[in-house]
């Protein structure tokens, strides 16, 4: 009978010995590619922009929770909710969300005039204007917020101990530390001002309700809530570290964060070595398959 066509014949897989022989035969290519990757990564590691990382260690400061108010108020708890009173007042999640918010970051970028700094390549420092006259090509605060979040600013929360770290990466170590500290001060001031406005509104509302209440029990319940709000108002006025207590201020870092030169060079060299080896084995496999397909097949008698 006839032997099956070459296209239907199975090919023996490469053994470890075959792979070793292929790699040894292509050692010149592998060494050349590895050295080229090492050289390229070395050049990059020394000419790439250097970045420094500054961080601030924080502890969220929860306000004193009102103890037993809900159980004492009874039906008045619905009234407190309608008034916008937060009886539990756990600020941790709100503080972290505010720290990451577009409102806070956008205000910081605008107040510090950071758009020309963040997009220095698009800014003409001598003329003090954008290089392009097209408004669509000129960065605005939305572009600044996106760049800031993607490349400069990040927040890490440790769920185990509840600590929060504010991180700023920048090309100047002193500026990185300055921005990190300023952002923490900004969120504390922002949350403090918001709490003052809310507490002042709550106190005014509760005083009106206390005046109009005719039932003694209702007056006592409102009085307890009013006392709690007055305490929060006093706390917001006196406590500058309203949202976060600063455990460790940012300091200008001594060592750069990126590029890590040894890591870049070693990583690129390993990738070059593996890539060249894979290419050599793949090339050998393709050539062997092509030779097998082109080899003429003869009829073999039964």
Structure tokens at 132: 């392009």
Q: Give mean pLDDT, residues 97-102.
A: 94
What pLDDT does 300 receive? 46
- Would you state the pLDDT for residue 201? 72
Q: How far is it, in rounded angstroms, from Cα 104 to Cα 109?
A: 9
β-pairing, 52-60 vs 164-170, is antiparallel
CA atoms within 13 A on the CB side of 142: 3
* Of residues 277 and 240, more confidently modeled: 277
d(CA 185, CA 249): 11
Least confident residue range of 47-51, 222-226, 260-264? 222-226
Whether the pLDDT of residue 77 is over 50: the answer is no
User: In the chain, what are the domain boundaries?
Assistant: 6-48+260-294, 52-248
For 113, left (φ over 0), alpha (ψ -120 to 50), or beta? left
- Residue 206 pLDDT > 80: no
CATH 2.40.360 fits 52-248, yes or no: no
Give the H or E element holding residue 157.
strand 153-157
pLDDT band at 1 (very low <50, low <70, confident <90, very high): very low
For residue 11, give the nearest of 290, 301, 278 by alpha carbon. 290
**Model confidence at 302: pLDDT above 70:** no
Claim: this prediction has a pTM higher than 0.75: no
* Residues 213, 75: Cα–Cα separation, whole Å: 14
Q: What is the pLDDT of residues 19-74, one digit of tens each?
A: 899 999 999 999 999 999 999 999 998 998 899 999 999 999 864 443 334 344 44
- Confidence at residue 280, expressed as pLDDT on a 0 to 100 scale: 92
Task: Give the integer Cα–Cα distance in Å for 131 and 190.
Answer: 34
Peptide linkage before 26 cis (omega within 30 of 0): no
């Amino acid at each position: 009978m006839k032997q099956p066509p070459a296209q239907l014949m199975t090919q023996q897989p490469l053994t470890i010995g075959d792979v070793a022989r292929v790699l040894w035969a292509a050692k010149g290519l592998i060494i050349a590619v590895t050295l080229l990757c090492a050289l390229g990564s070395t050049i990059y590691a020394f000419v790439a922009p250097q970045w420094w990382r500054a961080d601030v260690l924080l502890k969220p400061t929860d306000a004193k929770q009102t103890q037993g108010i809900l159980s004492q108020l009874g039906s008045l708890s619905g009234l407190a909710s309608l008034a916008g009173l937060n009886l539990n007042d756990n600020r941790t999640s709100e503080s972290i969300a505010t720290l990451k918010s577009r409102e806070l970051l956008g205000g910081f970028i605008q107040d510090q005039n950071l758009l020309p700094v963040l997009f220095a390549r698009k800014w003409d420092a001598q003329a003090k204007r954008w290089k392009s006259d097209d408004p669509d090509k000129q960065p605005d605060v939305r572009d600044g917020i996106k760049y800031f979040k993607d490349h400069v600013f990040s927040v890490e929360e440790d769920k185990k101990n509840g600590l929060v770290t504010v991180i700023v990466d920048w090309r100047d170590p002193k500026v990185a530390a300055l921005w990190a500290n300023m952002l923490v001060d900004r969120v504390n001031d922002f949350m403090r001002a918001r709490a003052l406005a809310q507490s002042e509104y709550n106190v005014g509302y509760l005083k009106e309700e206390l005046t109009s209440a005719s039932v003694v029990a209702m007056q006592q319940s409102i009085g307890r809530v009013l006392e709690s709000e007055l305490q929060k108002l006093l706390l917001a006025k006196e406590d500058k570290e309203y949202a976060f207590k600063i455990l460790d201020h940012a300091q200008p870092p001594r060592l750069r964060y990126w590029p890590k030169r040894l890591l870049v060079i070693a990583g690129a060299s390993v990738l070059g070595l593996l890539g060249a080896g894979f290419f050599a084995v793949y090339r050998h496999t393709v050539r062997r398959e092509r030779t097998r397909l082109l080899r003429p097949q003869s009829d073999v008698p039964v």
